[in-house]
Amino acid sequence: MLTPEEVAKQHITAVLGGDPVLMAADYADHAVLIRSDEIYNGKDEILDYFKSVPDRLGNNKLEFLRFSVCENEATFSWQIVGDTIKASGQDVLVISDGLIVKQEVFLSDSDF
């Protein structure tokens, strides 16, 4: 079983790779993803959300900044920079038994 740090790093790698199936693979079946007022319940809804990410990002660049793990929580900051998008935020992942069970996204400015 992967440690919380390994799960978080694997997830970040999947997001950078742009494959929605790999992005959702780190989530438990009953996981929840919270983005502002949007809530995605379960792995299928989370996969549907991740399917929208590559098109929404377009040619803009996603960068992950600070990363830390404390027990079963991983926190990382990110930013998107490009011609059409400027956004940033921080995500908190709660990891249990090698899978993400909760992700909460805190936007610093506009969404993408």
Contacts of residue 37, Cβ cutoff 8 Å, sequence gap at least 6: none
Q: Where are the domains of the chain?
A: 4-107
Q: What is the pTM of this model?
A: 0.90
Distance of alpha carbon 109 from alpha carbon 27, whole angstroms: 26
Task: Supply the CATH classification number for the domain 4-107.
Answer: 3.10.450.50
Question: What six digits make up the tokens of 31?
Answer: 């996981």
- Span 17-75, pLDDT tens digits: 989 999 999 999 999 999 988 999 999 999 999 999 888 888 888 999 999 999 999 99
Residue 101 CA, distance from chain mean position: 12
